[in-house]
Amino acid sequence: MLQKTIVLLSFLLFSSFSYSGKQVKRKHSHSSHHSKKKSASFQSIEACKAIIETLKTKKLTVEGDANIKGTLTVNCVPIDQIVGLPGPKGCPGTQGPQGPKGDKGDKGDKGDKGDKGDKGDKGDKGDKGDKGDKGDKGDAGTNGILNYASFYALMPYDNPEDIPAGSAVAFPHDGPNNNVITRLPDSNVDFILPNIGTYEITFQVYVGVGGQLILGLDSGDGVEELLPTTVGSKNGNSQFVGISLITTTAPNSVLSVRNPATANPPALKITEYAGGLGSNPEHPIAATLVIKQLA
């Protein structure tokens, strides 16, 4: 059995003393001086425990004239410093109430620039914006028509005779023009294109017999009939209408509307009256020639 020892240091004890009603007698030793340490040993563990608990929790009563001096120790540890073995761990307590909101912290340092994000989805169509301010006036553009002129004939007074093959239709009257495109002096059938460029040519003539009309262009080497400008009709009493673009290669080229040199029949009769009031000379029918320089 493990021996437990209680050592009573530096005290003088003569006679008997008791604690908690239990009396323990100790004989005085004549061979020891009162100034030296006195000790008593107890072999019983249960007795030691009882004495320790009594000394820690109950008042010590001394009987007789003995004085107690010194410090009560157990294995050199003062009795008031003896601590028992730790007890088992207690159960966790309940969670306490939420604490008050803390103060606002200081502003943190600026972070590093993040990576570029993915392209987002296409957004909804926005509302129609307000009308913008009026813009500045643009630069002046070029005129779509550089030069122009119109000529006409009135039947039955003009072109009373048939038009032989290789001859031109007369347009003896001047219409609106800008005085650049003119007729050849003293001519009712030839018209001057003064500038090298591109021209739009439009003509219409009522013809009483089947046949054709074509544009002729004289650039200085004689009249050349321009085949892509040919118009015609197999039957009589028809309106011949031609609309063409031509490009001149020489200044002052001469234009005419002609009965082709290889025409069949060889002569064209211009219609004198067409609808309306019949043969009333107060209401003639017109043949027209319009020339526009585009470039």
Q: Which amino acid, 289? A: L
Encoding tokens for residue 175? 């219409």
What is the pLDDT, as a whole number, of residue 54?
59
Residues of the chain with CATH 2.60.120.40: 147-293
Task: Domain 147-293: state its class.
Answer: mainly beta
What is the pLDDT, as a whole number, of residue 138?
86
Under-70 pLDDT residues of the chain: 1-80, 82-84, 143, 275-282
What is the pLDDT, as a whole number, of residue 279?
59
The torsion of the CA quartet 277, 269, 182, 200, rounded to 10 degrees, works out to: 90
pTM listed for this prediction = 0.54
What is the pLDDT, as a whole number, of residue 192?
98
Separation between Cα atoms, residue 256 and residue 184, nearest integer Å: 11
What is the pLDDT, as a whole number, of residue 30?
42
Cα dist from 221 to 27, 88, 194, 254, whole Å? 172, 133, 16, 11
What is the pLDDT, as a whole number, of residue 85?
76
What is the pLDDT, as a whole number, of residue 236?
83
Separation between Cα atoms, residue 172 and residue 284, nearest integer Å: 15
Separation between Cα atoms, residue 17 and residue 226, nearest integer Å: 160
